Amino acid sequence: MTNEQLLENVALVRERMKRAAASAGRDPKEILLCAASKTQDAQTVRMAADMDIDLFGENRVQELTSKHAQGAYGTKPLHFIGHLQTNKVRQVVGVASLIQSVDSEHLLHSIETQAEKLNICQDILLEVNIGEEASKSGVSAKNLHALVEAASILPHVRVRGLMAIPPAQCTPDQTRRHFAEMRRLFEKIGNEKILNVCMEYLSMGMSGDFEIAIQEGANLVRVGTALFGARDYFIK
C-alpha cells in the first residue's frame, strides 16, 4: 500500500467516525482510532504511525514483539487485542500499554505475576463474550462482575474498561443490541465505583460495524481492513 492510499483511507475512516458521532450527538474527539495492524509489515505500520491514528492494536504476540523491536509504532501507544495465552503473557506485559482481551481469572493472575516481576501496573480491559458464542473467548455477561471483583484486588493490574466483538453473522440490528448491552454493562460497573476499576474505555466496533458502535457509546474502535485493505493471511 502506498502512502497516498493509506492517507486517503485514514481520512475516510475519520470522516465516517465524525458522521457517526454527530448522528449520536457526540464529540468525535472523544473516540480513539485503533489501527488493527495484524499481518501488516513494520514498514507499513511505521508509515501509518505518522498519520491521524491514535494507537495500534496487534492480535498476535509474535507480530507485536517483532514490530515493537523494530520501532514500527513510533510514539503511538500499542495495545494487544487478540486472544492471549498464559504462556505468552511475559512477552506482552510491559510492552503493550493496554491488554484489551483479558477474559479469565487464570489470565488475570498470570498478568499480575509478570507485572509484579517488572514492578509495573499493567492496564487491561475485560473482554465480554456478548454474543455468548461457544467458540469465542470472553467472559459471559453474567460472570463479568465476578471477574471485575477478582481484578480489583490485584495490586499490579488495573481495569480500564471493557471490550467486545459481537457475532460476525449478526444483522445490523442485532449488532446494535449487543453494543447497547455492552454500554449498559460499562455504565453499570462504572457507577459502582469499585476500587482499582475505572470504566474509561469501551472498545467495540471494527471495520464493518464501527459506526454502529460509536452510535451506541464506543470510545475506542479497532479498524483494520478499512485502513489497510484486505489482509493477506499467508504472510509469515
**Could you tell me the end-to-end alpha-carbon distance of the chain, in angstroms, rounded to an integer?**
18
Question: What confidence tens digit (pLDDT) does each residue in 96-146 have?
Answer: 999 999 999 999 999 999 999 999 999 999 999 999 887 788 999 999 999
pLDDT at 232: 65
Q: Is residue 81 part of a domain?
A: yes
Q: Is residue 197 part of a domain?
A: yes
pLDDT at 235: 44
Question: What confidence tens digit (pLDDT) does each residue in 159-212 have?
Answer: 999 999 999 889 999 999 999 999 999 999 999 999 999 999 999 999 999 999
DSSP lists the bridge partners of residue 56 as 35, 78
Q: Is residue 236 part of a domain?
A: no
Q: Residue 104: give the domain boundaries.
A: 3-228
Q: Is residue 182 part of a domain?
A: yes
Q: Is residue 235 part of a domain?
A: no
Q: Is residue 27 part of a domain?
A: yes
CB contact set of 68 (below 8 Å; sequence gap of 6+): 78, 95
- Segment 216-220 mean pLDDT: 98
Q: What is the CATH number of the domain that holds 16?
A: 3.20.20.10
What's the pTM value of the predicted model, to 2 decimals?
0.94
Cα–Cα distance, 162 to 128 (Å, whole number): 7
pLDDT at 135: 77
Q: Is residue 233 part of a domain?
A: no
Question: What confidence tens digit (pLDDT) does each residue in 11-61 have?
Answer: 999 999 999 999 999 999 999 999 999 999 999 999 999 999 999 999 999
Domain count, the chain: 1
Q: Is residue 74 part of a domain?
A: yes
